[in-house]
């Protein structure tokens, strides 16, 4: 893939990944076929959508299930979001968790 195409994909999907990872992702994207890279990036979760899910359904653990963190989702479901405390804490953490999970999925770690 050309450098411009990789830059375009980073511009479109960069907000879904941690800032520290964007440079290495740009390098990896240049070594991929455009269609493969597009599919990989399109499969990432939007942190803003996950935040909205967390605000409205976080006490049931739906936000954690959505990002693929099944164990945390089950624990939040059983404890009703830690009696609300865990839910409120997740409002501040879930976007970072989503970006980290997206990066792990992009690298094939998760």
Q: Are residues 100 and 61 in the same domain?
A: yes
Q: Are residues 11 and 32 in the same domain?
A: yes
The pLDDT, as a whole number, for residue 110 is 55
Helix (H, G, I), strand (E, B) or coil at 94: helix
> pTM for this structure?
0.90
Q: Are residues 53 and 35 in the same domain?
A: no
Q: Are residues 18 and 36 in the same domain?
A: yes
Residues of the domain holding 77: 47-107
Domains of the chain: total = 2
Q: Are residues 34 and 51 in the same domain?
A: no
Q: Are residues 53 and 101 in the same domain?
A: yes
Q: Are residues 98 and 76 in the same domain?
A: yes
The pLDDT, as a whole number, for residue 81 is 84
SS3 assignment for 5-33: HHHHHHHHHHHHCCHHHHHHHHHHHHCCC
Q: Are residues 86 and 100 in the same domain?
A: yes
Q: Are residues 21 and 55 in the same domain?
A: no
Q: Are residues 38 and 59 in the same domain?
A: no
Q: Are residues 53 and 86 in the same domain?
A: yes
Instruction: Give the pLDDT confidence of 82-101 residue by residue, as tens digits.
Output: 888 999 999 999 999 999 99
CA distances to 5, 21, 34, 57, 79 from 47, rounded to whole Å, are 23, 15, 24, 15, 24
């Amino acid at each position: 893939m050309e450098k411009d195409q990789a830059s375009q994909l980073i511009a479109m999907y960069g907000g879904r990944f941690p800032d520290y990872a964007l440079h290495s992702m740009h390098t990896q994207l240049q070594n991929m076929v455009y269609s493969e890279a597009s599919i990989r990036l399109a499969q990432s979760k939007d942190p803003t959508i996950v935040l909205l899910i967390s605000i409205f359904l976080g006490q049931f653990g739906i936000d954690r299930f959505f990002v693929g963190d099944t164990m945390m989702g089950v624990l939040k479901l059983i404890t009703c979001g830690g009696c609300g405390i865990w839910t409120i804490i997740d409002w501040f953490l879930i976007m970072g968790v989503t970006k980290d999970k997206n990066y792990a999925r992009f690298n094939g770690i998760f």
